[in-house]
Amino acid sequence: MTASPDTLTLLRELEPTVETNLNRHLATAKEWFPHEYVPWSEGSDFDGVLGGQAWDPEQSRLPEVARTSLIVNLLTEDNLPSYHHEIATTFGRDGAWGTWVHRWTAEEGRHGIAIRDYLVTTRAVDPVALERARMQHMAGGFTNGNDGVLSSLAYVSFQELATRVAHRNTGKVSGDPICDQLLAKVAADENLHMLFYRNLLSAAFELAPDATMRAVCDVVKDFQMPGHTIENFGRKSVQIAMAGIYDLRIHHDEVVTPVLRQLRVLDREGFSGEGEKAREELVEFMTGLDTAASRFEAKREAALARVKSRA
């Protein structure tokens, strides 16, 4: 069994990879402006202080499930101060790590701004309910539950890709080209974030193969979306899954599997018994996830058929 390096050693040894990927990120990420994506001409005053028109669900042209998904995605983005805390305390605020932590935080901040401006301007959501939900969600804070550098790197690699897919598919389901365009832009940022973390995770596999395999295995096994503490998340995520925005099949095929494949988790060598054991556990879990995904798809198909026949 190979000992896993301590946190400070790991951070120091990964730092050159952080620097390379930070530079790659800065060269690739294109500057963009949220205000250019919001149809301001559709906006008007609300009731209350300015005495405008009260919000009413009829004012939105978006399907209900798209609005639910947008709210979940926005509340998820809103918890940024907690995410910043998590990565700043894990990765530190010095050197290349610190530059990344701050830059990432600034980019994520843009997502909440852009989505909120869009939703409020187009009256797609009840602004009072949204604000109360934001207060409630943020007041609860967020801990990713994955202690240590390796688990955190594993978690964010999957989480960034999961949010990318969730934003992208929400845009498609919205039926609104303006919404779709905005969420495609946000999704492109999440993809670059995923690349950064996945490359770091790949470097971690070289430095500490057994410990990294264990971290990946554990994170995949109890993965939860970053917004899972949102009020009524269970009910909302069922709606989102039924609409095919984010479901077990997508999670298995489009999020976990591609990251594992890129990391060459199945054919990588150099593990001792501990790493092999974690890999076997992971493979077994993925098989079960695939089965559960197929079961869900069959149930969804049957439920949709019932609705159709009733109509």
Residue numbers at the binding site for Fe ion (CB under 5 A): 108, 111, 160, 190, 193
Identity of the residue, 86 or 160, whose beta carbon is nearer to Fe ion in the bound complex: 160
Closest separation between CB of residue 294 and Fe ion, Å? 29
Identity of the residue, 87 or 215, whose beta carbon is nearer to Fe ion in the bound complex: 87
Identity of the residue, 126 or 160, whose beta carbon is nearer to Fe ion in the bound complex: 160
Closest separation between CB of residue 112 and Fe ion, Å? 8
Closest separation between CB of residue 82 and Fe ion, Å? 13
Cβ neighbour number for residue 143 with a 10 Å cutoff: 10
Identity of the residue, 160 or 176, whose beta carbon is nearer to Fe ion in the bound complex: 160
Identity of the residue, 60 or 76, whose beta carbon is nearer to Fe ion in the bound complex: 76
Closest separation between CB of residue 25 and Fe ion, Å? 11
Closest separation between CB of residue 148 and Fe ion, Å? 20
Q: Which residue shows structure tokens 């939703």?
A: 119
Identity of the residue, 201 or 289, whose beta carbon is nearer to Fe ion in the bound complex: 201
Closest separation between CB of residue 77 and Fe ion, Å? 5
Beta bridge partner(s), residue 53: 46
